[in-house]
């Protein structure tokens, strides 16, 4: 049964939601931390700390796949520079493969068949959860 960590990058933090799929459906795994934040993104120690925290999170929770919700690279609603730095650090984790899903794909899937927001999910985790759930819908 695959265990997927959905991520939404906002500002200087990665919002996390783990979803596991089995024969009975998808299950949200409610564990801490629910966010990993970088301190001063210009500090080598802070960057290394974020990287180590994320890598340990993936290892400790036996994550099979990391799914990041894509952000615009330019324009009015583009992601900030720090979030792209976090994205690169996540991609370099060396433990789990990282894939990207589009907000448009998530929305289209949600319109077709509503995502069931499972108990224990905080409102701020919804996009991360929907990213993981969308990936599992397409690939299991």
Chain segment 84-124, per-residue pLDDT in tens: 999 999 999 999 999 999 999 998 887 887 777 777 899 99
pLDDT of residue 24: 86
Distance from C-alpha of 62 to C-alpha of 17, rounded to nearest angstrom: 13
pLDDT of res. 1: 73
């Amino acid at each position: 049964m695959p265990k997927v960590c959905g991520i939404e990058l906002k500002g200087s933090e990665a919002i996390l939601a783990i979803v596991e799929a089995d024969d009975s459906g998808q299950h949200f795994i409610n564990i801490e931390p629910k966010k990993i934040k970088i301190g001063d993104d210009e500090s080598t120690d802070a960057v290394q700390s974020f990287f180590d925290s994320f890598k340990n999170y993936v290892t400790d929770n036996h994550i099979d796949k990391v799914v990041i919700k894509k952000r615009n690279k330019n324009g009015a609603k583009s992601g900030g520079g720090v979030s792209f730095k976090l994205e690169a650090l996540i991609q370099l984790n060396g433990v789990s493969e990282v894939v990207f899903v589009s907000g448009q794909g998530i929305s289209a899937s949600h319109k077709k068949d509503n995502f069931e927001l499972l108990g224990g999910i905080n409102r701020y985790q919804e996009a991360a959860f929907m990213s993981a759930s969308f990936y599992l819908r397409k690939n299991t």
